[in-house]
Chains A and B, each alone.
Chain A
Amino acid sequence: MRRTILSAVALACTAVLAGTAPAFADGPSPVPSKTPAQSAPSPVPSEAPSKAATPSPSKPGPADEAAATPAPAPADRQVSAVPEGAPDTGVAARPADGSDEGLIGAGAGAVLVAGGAVLLVVRRRRAATGA
């Protein structure tokens, strides 16, 4: 009875240690055995000791992540400001041409009307003089 309980406790302890070991290895490298106490003080000295007591493997993780994430972020974009939409790189000649065409048409019409009026006047005068 005692033997089995002792052996079970021993097994549990070794399993817990085996489980936490890789977490230390992934976490801060300097001092694996005292990581919770030593790695926590650098970012936040006052909070670290109290929080480091229980969740020792998880605490150093986020602290390291926070230190690691800002590094890749700034060198992200090669184009610092991406424009919206498509560039308008073509100014068609149509609107300007269109107004010119309108003017030309109106001018031609006026010339025709004037010509017709002159012709009419000339004919009437000829008819009046009997020439």
Chain B
Amino acid sequence: MTRPPGRALAAVALAVLLAGCGGGPGEQTAAKDRPATTAPSAPAAEPARPLERSVPVGLRIPAIGVDTPVLRLGLAADGTVEVPPVTDDDRAGWYRHSPTPGQVGPSVLLGHVTVGTHGDGVFRHLARLHRGDRIETRLENGTAAGFTVTAVRTVRKAEFPTDDVYGNVDRPELRLVTCGGPLTGGEYRDNVIVFARLATTGPAAS
């Protein structure tokens, strides 16, 4: 009479073990899937609706007197971002591997702070911008995307915040990048980065 209960217990233990093995993989895949599906959902406070893709052709920043045409920039041979040519009439440039202004994502525009003997660059006074200042971009399709400055950061070039500038975001944003800080050995030590979010959209004022 002592053996049967032992066998029964062994059978129960085996059953529990099998049940545990059977349920395992299903739970694992569910756990794996969860982060992928929940990650994109974030804050839903969006003041303006995202725009369709249209290349920027103009940039206006009233607070620092900027009104410039916008060039297209790509990647240089060494993997760094191209910058506008050093000329007398300095212009801003849009990094063409980033979203266009108004699309969801970080649209990146670059401009010089100084252009050698030509004097001041188009983004000479970018560091003077403050939170809440307006930035307007004119797009090729006749639309305008208005942005509001959310942050102005001066960072050392050696610690350039690549993720903050080029990383994914869940709404249309703008990045304006130039050089700044003290000159050491004929080069600027820092980068000035303006972060802005889409505030308004509508037809361009021409």
User: With A and B bound together, what is the CA distance between A86 and B157 in angstroms?
Assistant: 5
Question: Chain A residues in contact with chain B, CB under 8 A?
Answer: 1, 4-5, 7-9, 11-16, 18-20, 22-23, 25-27, 57-58, 61, 64-65, 68, 72, 76-97
Query: Which secondary structure dominates where chain B touches chain A?
Result: mixed
Question: Chain B residues in contact with chain A, CB under 8 A?
Answer: 4-5, 7-8, 10-12, 14-16, 18-23, 25-27, 29-30, 32-33, 36, 75, 78-81, 83, 86, 95, 97-99, 104-106, 108, 110-117, 119, 121, 123, 157-158, 160, 162, 166-169, 177-180, 183, 186-188, 191
Q: Chain A residues near B14: list those with CB within 8 A.
A: 12
Q: With contacts A5-B4, A84-B80, A89-B191 known, is A16 near B97, CB below 8 A? A: no
Query: Contact: B113 with A90, CB < 8 Å?
Result: yes
User: With A and B bound together, what is the CA distance between A101 and B19 in angstroms?
Assistant: 86
Q: Within the complex, what minimum Cβ distance (angstroms) separates A23 from chain B? A: 5
Q: With contacts A4-B8, A8-B12, A78-B168 known, is A88 near B80, CB below 8 A? A: yes
Chain B: which residue is nearest A73 at the CB level?
Answer: B36
